[in-house]
Structure 1
Amino acid sequence: MNPTARRKGLFLVITGAIFWGVSGTVAKKLFEQTAIDVNGLVTVRLLIAGILLLTIQFWVKDRSQIVGVWRNRWTALRLIVFGWVGMLSVQYTYLASIQHGNAAVATLLQYLAPVMIILYLMLRKQMVFTRKDLLTVILALAGCFFLLTNGSISELSVPVPAVVWGVLSGAALAFYTLYAVPLLKQYDSLVIVGWAMIIGGLGLSVIHPPWHTDFTGLTIDAYLYLAFVVIFGTMVAFWFYIESLQSLSPKETSLLGSLEPLAAVITTVFWLKEPFGFFQWLGTACIIGLILLLAWVKKPSSD
């Protein structure tokens, strides 16, 4: 492979993962400094990012897919379910966990999704449970215990709602990952994810119209935070991640994607000044180890 193309791929996936992690912390800052809530942020984030992704598809790739995905009844129905149950659930539960707790905990709990996928595939008898799978489950459980209790079983170190939303976020991500596979075999990722974001945003707009959120009184800093979450933390991060697959193997891309929770932890501690105890750092190490292990043990055929 061309070394220049490989360096480009490394830059894209590293930058995209960092943007995803940092955007969670920026969202927390936005919640603390403004009256914007989860409903308003998710609605605006999904609608704007979805339009931007379809715009990229229109100018860069096969524009006929943007309309073509709706011509098959089965595909259209599956896309609607994916937008509501997959995309909207992932975005909402993740940001709700951030609002009630912090970005580091929300991001790390979301990475329980691989364990949930393993358990689902086992129940469907689509895979055999191995010792490596057992190790991933142990790392996930140990990581969550240390992260949420800071070594003490008497009380959680983060609010209970943050834990509940975080676990639901992991379940939503597992569904999102599994349910999208048939769609991604037929259409470009930008088309599927772009439409899913718009569908999810429109669905939430029925309950919370975007014009009900007051953006007029925001400070310049708040507008910058909002722009970062929508553009860099959603549209650019996803675009960079999928573009990196053009020059890196899926194993390498997913491995470097583990920088997301690391970025969330570092920015939460050093920017938001939220304390992290020794056992929480140990829990962080366990879950990052889980992500690295899952990346390394992929089948050779997926490289």
Structure 2
Amino acid sequence: MAKQTSGQASQSQKTSESQKNAKKTAKKMEHVLEQTPKSLLIGTGMTLLGGAMWGMNSTVAKLLMRDYQLDPVWLSCVRALFASLIFLVGSAITTPQKLAGAVKDVKSYPKYLVTTLICVLLVQVSYLMTIDWTNSGTATVLQTLNLVFVLTWVCLRVKRLPLKHELVGVLLAFAGTFLIATGGNFASLSLPWQGLAWGLVDAVSTAAMSILPVMLMLKWGDMTINGITFLMSGLILCPFAQPWANIPALDARGVLLLLYTIVCGTFLAFWLYMAGVMRVGAVRATMLGTSEPVMATITAVAWAGETFTFTDLTGFAMIIIMVFLVR
């Protein structure tokens, strides 16, 4: 009888702790949702700038792979390792307790690994592969299709059908992708099938990036989680990329491009965008994130000499309109 009472007390204590943790999480979510006008303005600027930097980064990566023959896996590995150091140093300076707590949280290690493989490694590699096979503008627009997969996940989870405007958005996304892939010609692909395949993989993994790490970031901070997952991603890629054995010959321009893709295109772009999301919310961030494909397309034309047909631009426009319909 005493054992039973003790067991009930233990179970009651666990339930109480679980309820307390749930309340803490709810308070954090409420804090994210309830923002002052000043915070919303700052968050808007951070999200826009982060998206624009990521869009520019795609063209910089294209120049590195095209002009200096950098392998996409090598580039993913190097920038993940160096960006992780910046994230971890930043976390150690600004939130040392959270960094220490995340390292000691052994139970979360499997979550770190899943987040690393899907939300960092796969996102980085598939995105660079898409850029390598196509161009920065096309790759960034295809990445925007992640919203279709997020919508699918939401509908399955809450057991509902898509709303009318969401269905219109999905149809626009499919039509836009078709125009980009075929140039409007049913008989052939104008886009390499490898580029289309990697682009769709990128869209799926990017969708996961907006879902999987959210609770970890609320608990330990976006800079801490980015630092840990980027470091793990770089270390996992090391045996395949062997960055120490395949150092490319870079001139001053190449070094500057590489520094940009590490510091601005990866660290600052990720940090600004995720910090912006925490201030303005996912819906507003999705709308503001359209700065990414726009900037990627502009810089692809201006810096990399890419050309886009009217059909390509129409497809781009359809997918961007989808962003405002699928929220």
> What TM-score, normalized to structure 2?
0.83
- The letter of the residue matching 1:269 is V
Determine the structure 1 residue equivalent to 2:156.
123
Mapped pair 1:137 → 2:173:
no
Q: Contact (CA 8 Å) 2:101, 2:220: kept in 1 or not? A: no
Partners in 2 of 1:2 and 1:131 — Cα distance?
Answer: 32
Structure 1 residues 108 and 246, CA, compared in 2 at 3 Å: closer, same or farther?
closer
Show CA shifts across 1:31-90 (max 9, x none).
Answer: 111131111100011111111112111212x21222321323331111012112321000
What SS does the corresponding residue of 2:211 show, helix, strand or coil?
helix
Show CA shifts across 1:80-132 (max 9, x none).
Answer: 12112321000000001111111111111111111112223333444432212
Q: Contact (CA 8 Å) 2:166, 2:325: kept in 1 or not? A: no
Shift of 1:15: 1.7
Structure 1 residues 225 and 180, CA, compared in 2 at 3 Å: closer, same or farther?
same
Determine the structure 1 residue equivalent to 2:24.
none
Partners in 1 of 2:156 and 2:40 — Cα distance?
Answer: 38
Mapped pair 1:20 → 2:54:
yes
Structure 1 residues 240 and 185, CA, compared in 2 at 3 Å: closer, same or farther?
closer
Q: Contact (CA 8 Å) 1:143, 1:284: kept in 2 or not? A: yes
What SS does the corresponding residue of 1:285 show, helix, strand or coil?
helix
Show CA shifts across 1:193-224 (max 9, x none).
Answer: 22111111110112222212214x21111111
Match for 2:199 among 166, 171, 191? Answer: 166
What SS does the corresponding residue of 2:210 show, helix, strand or coil?
helix
Q: Contact (CA 8 Å) 2:50, 2:273: kept in 1 or not? A: yes
What SS does the corresponding residue of 1:178 show, helix, strand or coil?
coil
Match for 1:55 among 66, 76, 89? Answer: 89
Show CA shifts across 1:235-276 (max 9, x none).
Answer: 011222233356545433331111101111111123222221
Determine the structure 2 residue equivalent to 1:175.
208
Determine the structure 2 residue equivalent to 1:286.
318
Q: Contact (CA 8 Å) 1:43, 1:201: kept in 2 or not? A: yes
What SS does the corresponding residue of 1:69 show, helix, strand or coil?
helix
What SS does the corresponding residue of 1:186 show, helix, strand or coil?
helix
Shift of 1:4: 6.1
Mapped pair 1:253 → 2:280:
no
Partners in 2 of 1:184 and 1:126 — Cα distance?
Answer: 27
Structure 1 residues 173 and 6, CA, compared in 2 at 3 Å: closer, same or farther?
closer
**Which deviates more, 224-233 or 130-139?**
130-139
Mapped pair 1:210 → 2:243:
yes
Determine the structure 1 residue equivalent to 2:251.
219
Q: Contact (CA 8 Å) 2:222, 2:271: kept in 1 or not? A: no
Match for 1:35 among 50, 53, 69? Answer: 69
Structure 1 residues 184 and 251, CA, compared in 2 at 3 Å: closer, same or farther?
same
Indicate the structure with greater helix content: 2
Q: 5+ residue gaps in structure 1?
A: 296-303
RMSD over aligned CA atoms reads 2.0
Determine the structure 2 residue equivalent to 1:301.
none
Mapped pair 1:76 → 2:109:
yes
Mapped pair 1:104 → 2:137:
yes
> What TM-score, normalized to structure 1?
0.90
- The letter of the residue matching 2:137 is A
Q: Contact (CA 8 Å) 1:146, 1:280: kept in 2 or not? A: yes
Structure 1 residues 127 and 212, CA, compared in 2 at 3 Å: closer, same or farther?
farther
**Which deviates more, 178-187 or 222-231?**
178-187
Structure 1 residues 90 and 66, CA, compared in 2 at 3 Å: closer, same or farther?
same
Shift of 1:171: 1.2
Mapped pair 1:267 → 2:299:
yes
Structure 1 residues 48 and 70, CA, compared in 2 at 3 Å: closer, same or farther?
same
Partners in 1 of 2:142 and 2:36 — Cα distance?
Answer: 37
- The letter of the residue matching 2:68 is T
Q: Contact (CA 8 Å) 1:93, 1:168: kept in 2 or not? A: yes
**Which deviates more, 88-97 or 74-83?**
74-83
Structure 1 residues 88 and 36, CA, compared in 2 at 3 Å: closer, same or farther?
same
The percent identity for this pair of structures is: 29
Partners in 2 of 1:143 and 1:176 — Cα distance?
Answer: 23
Q: Contact (CA 8 Å) 1:183, 1:192: kept in 2 or not? A: yes
